[in-house]
Amino acid sequence: MKKISEIPGKNPFKIPVNYFEEVNRKIISATTGINGESKKISPYHRLRPYLAIAASVAVLIVAVYFAVRLLSPVKTSTSVSELLNSDYSESYFNDIDIRSLEESAASVDLYDEMPDVSNKEIIDYLLLDDIEISDIYDHL
C-alpha cells in the first residue's frame, strides 16, 4: 500500500495569468451596488423594552392603590352627632363673628315694631278670658 505522504504536495491545478487581480476587481464591482443585509428590527421589538417598563409602572401603581385601599380604615356611616362634633361644625361656629352679630342686633329697635296698645286695653282683653284681676296686677 502506498503512503499518502509519498505523493509530492505539488498543486496540479493552474490558473490564468493575473487571475486573482481580475476576479477581485470583478467581485468588488459586483458587490458595489449591493446593499449588505442589515438586521431588520420590527417596531414591536424596538419598542418592547419601553412597553415592558410602562407595563411594570402601571402594575406598580395599581398594586399601590389597592394596598392603600386595603390597609386604610374605611368609614361606612356617619351619624349626626359625629358631624356636629366634627371639625366642620366647630369651624362653622368658630367662623361666626360675634362682634358683627351684636352690632346687627343693636341696630334693631324692638319698640318700633310693637303696636301702640295701652295697659287698660290689655287688662280689658284679658278679663274677657275670665282671669282674676288680682292675678293680673300680680304680674304687672
- Among 4, 98, 106, 140, contact with another protein (rule: CB under 8 A): 4
Cell of 126: 284679658
Cα 134 vs. chain centroid, distance in angstroms?
77
Beta carbons of 98 and 88 less than 8 angstroms apart: no
When asked if residue 27 is in the footprint of another protein (CB under 8 A), the reply is: yes
Which stretch, 12-20, 45-53, 94-102, 124-132, contacts another protein (CB under 8 A)? Answer: 12-20
Of the CA atoms within 13 Å of residue 122, those in its CB half-sphere come to: 9
Q: What angle do CA 72, 74, 79 make, to 5 degrees?
A: 145
Residue 126, C-beta contacts closer than 8 angstroms, at least 6 positions apart:
136
Write each residue from 34 to 73 as x if it is in contact with another protein (CB under 8 A), else as -, in one continuous string. Answer: x-xxxx----------------------------------
Q: Which is nearer to another protein, 28 or 140 (CB)?
A: 28
CB of 33 to another protein, least distance (A): 11
- Contacts with another protein by CB under 8 A lie at 1-4, 7-16, 19-20, 23-24, 26-28, 30-31, 34, 36-39
